[in-house]
């Protein structure tokens, strides 16, 4: 099937103290229509910057310095802001990590869910509020009247996150971009929310890009996984393969550090994600990698196809 969105050699960085520090170092991947892609990596890997870039929401001192984001044959990075505004929310909708910071504290939930209709369509306020209530029902909110007339702080985290999804779905988008949507929820609510997300993605034939630091979330929801570290892609593989036989040492590390039934001991990856500008030369993962060898300090491994729809950036494979 055809690619719905294609990211090519995306580079993003920050001006800091007279220096330019690169945070995304040439990211390339594509997503087909109807595909459910997970983007996984520890905090500080560049996941949110990637999401913000796709929506053209990077703000100074951040800057996109290179690359293309081809959506329906157009490069989003070349559009005027006015044209981007027609795509943001309407074609590509986003759910953020912390709903409280993305909801307006002084507007009711009902009004905020209705707002996309008021901005992007010609329907009146009353009809828009009715549509908002339908959406709130759709995201399994039972007491719609109460929720619609509530302000964000009056709701639980789980309810707020559902309201965010309702807003995101309002204009029937093509792509739903969800950045750690369950991180602020407790474990039971997380599972509930992921089920709901799954149902909605199926029901609306959405293309999903789900960003998470938690491989546990991936196994429920997605069919392909892109692993991000230090602003580079380590591995891009179908989900079944990556979970059964991870290739990149970083992917292996991430999988070893999630709890599995029957196993008591977790093996976290040693060390920490450094801040931008502090990654080692050569392979960005080499100071944490148990398989590192001489070559790894000399060159940055490039992402390459190794067959069966799998790509990996590591000198242990080929080269």
Does residue 32 sit in helix, strand or coil?
Answer: strand
Give the nearer residue to ligand ADP in terms of CB position, either 90 or 213: 213
Does residue 135 sit in helix, strand or coil?
Answer: helix
Point out which span in 46-54, 130-138, 211-219, 309-317 binds ligand SF4 (CB under 6 A): 309-317
- With binding defined as CB under 6 A, does residue 285 bind ligand SF4? yes
- With binding defined as CB under 6 A, does residue 49 bind ligand ADP? yes
- With binding defined as CB under 6 A, does residue 204 bind ligand ADP? no
**Residues 6 or more apart whose Cβ sits within 8 Å of residue 103:** 109, 112, 152, 160, 163, 164
Residue carrying structure tokens 């992402």: 303
Ramachandran sector of residue 121 (left: φ over 0; alpha: ψ -120 to 50; beta: rest): beta
Parallel/antiparallel/unpaired status of strands 19-32 and 62-71: unpaired
**Residues 6 or more apart whose Cβ sits within 8 Å of residue 227:** 40, 41, 233, 234, 235, 236, 242, 248, 250, 251, 254
How big is the site for ligand SF4, counted in residues (CB under 6 A)? 13
- With binding defined as CB under 6 A, does residue 23 bind ligand ADP? yes
Contact 315, 286 (CB under 8 A): no
125-138 and 109-120 helices, crossing angle to 10°: 120
Residues in 203-262 that interact with ligand SF4 by CB under 6 A: 248-249
Give the nearer residue to ligand SF4 in terms of CB position, either 96 or 285: 285
By a kind-dependent CB cut-off of 5 to 8 A, residue 117 interacts, out of ligand ADP, ligand SF4, Mg ion, none, with: none
Parallel/antiparallel/unpaired status of strands 304-307 and 74-75: unpaired
Answer for which of 3, 30, 48, 102 binds ligand ADP (CB under 6 A) is 48
Report how far residue 138's alpha carbon sits from residue 1's, in angstroms, rounded to the nearest whole number.
Answer: 29
- With binding defined as CB under 6 A, does residue 71 bind ligand SF4? no
Answer for which of 276, 283, 303, 314 binds ligand ADP (CB under 6 A) is 276
**Residues 6 or more apart whose Cβ sits within 8 Å of residue 60:** none
- With binding defined as CB under 6 A, does residue 315 bind ligand SF4? yes
Least CB distance from residue 255 to ligand SF4, whole Å?
14
By a kind-dependent CB cut-off of 5 to 8 A, residue 46 interacts, out of Mg ion, ligand ADP, ligand SF4, none, with: ligand ADP
Give the nearer residue to ligand ADP in terms of CB position, either 46 or 116: 46
DSSP letter at 294 equals G
Give the nearer residue to ligand ADP in terms of CB position, either 41 or 110: 41
Least CB distance from residue 296 to ligand SF4, whole Å?
3
- With binding defined as CB under 6 A, does residue 301 bind ligand SF4? yes
Least CB distance from residue 209 to ligand ADP, whole Å?
13
Report how far residue 283's alpha carbon sits from residue 118's, in angstroms, rounded to the nearest whole number.
Answer: 49
- With binding defined as CB under 6 A, does residue 181 bind ligand ADP? no
CA of residue 181 relative to chain centroid, distance: 9
Answer for which of 10, 27, 41, 76 binds ligand ADP (CB under 6 A) is 41
Contact footprint for ligand SF4 (CB under 6 A): 248-249, 283, 285-286, 289, 291-292, 296, 301, 314-316
The residues that touch ligand ADP, with contacts defined as CB under 6 A, are 14, 23, 41, 43-49, 62, 275-276
């Amino acid at each position: 099937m055809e690619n719905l969105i294609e990211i090519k050699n995306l580079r993003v960085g920050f001006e800091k103290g007279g220096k330019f520090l690169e945070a995304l170092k040439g990211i390339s991947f594509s997503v087909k229509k109807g595909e459910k892609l997970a983007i996984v990596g520890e905090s500080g890997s560049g996941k949110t910057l990637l999401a913000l870039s796709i929506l053209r929401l990077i703000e100074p001192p951040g800057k996109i310095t290179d690359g293309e984001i081809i959506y329906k044959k157009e490069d989003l990075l070349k559009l005027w802001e006015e044209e981007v505004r027609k795509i943001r929310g309407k074609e590509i909708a986003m759910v953020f990590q912390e709903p409280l910071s993305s909801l307006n504290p002084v507007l009711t939930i009902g009004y905020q869910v209705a707002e996309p209709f008021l901005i992007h369509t010609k329907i009146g306020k009353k009809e828009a509020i009715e549509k908002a209530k339908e959406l709130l029902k759709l995201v399994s909110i039972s007491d719609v009247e109460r929720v619609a007339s509530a302000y964000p702080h009056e709701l639980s985290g789980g309810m707020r996150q559902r309201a965010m999804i309702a807003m995101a779905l309002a204009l029937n988008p093509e792509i739903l971009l969800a950045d750690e949507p369950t991180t602020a929820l407790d474990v039971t609510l997380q599972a509930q929310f992921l089920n709901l997300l799954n149902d909605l993605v199926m029901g609306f034939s959405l293309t999903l890009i789900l960003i998470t630091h938690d491989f546990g979330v991936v196994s429920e929801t997605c069919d392909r996984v892109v692993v991000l570290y230090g602003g580079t892609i380590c591995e891009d593989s179908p989900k079944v393969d990556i979970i059964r036989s991870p290739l990149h040492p970083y992917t292996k590390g991430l999988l070893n550090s999630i709890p599995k039934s029957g196993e008591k001991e977790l093996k976290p990856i040693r060390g920490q994600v450094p801040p931008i500008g502090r990654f080692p030369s050569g392979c960005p993962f080499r100071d944490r990698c148990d398989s590192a060898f001489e070559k790894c300090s000399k060159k940055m491994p490039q992402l390459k196809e190794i067959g069966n729809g799998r790509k990996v950036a590591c000198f242990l494979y080929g080269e």
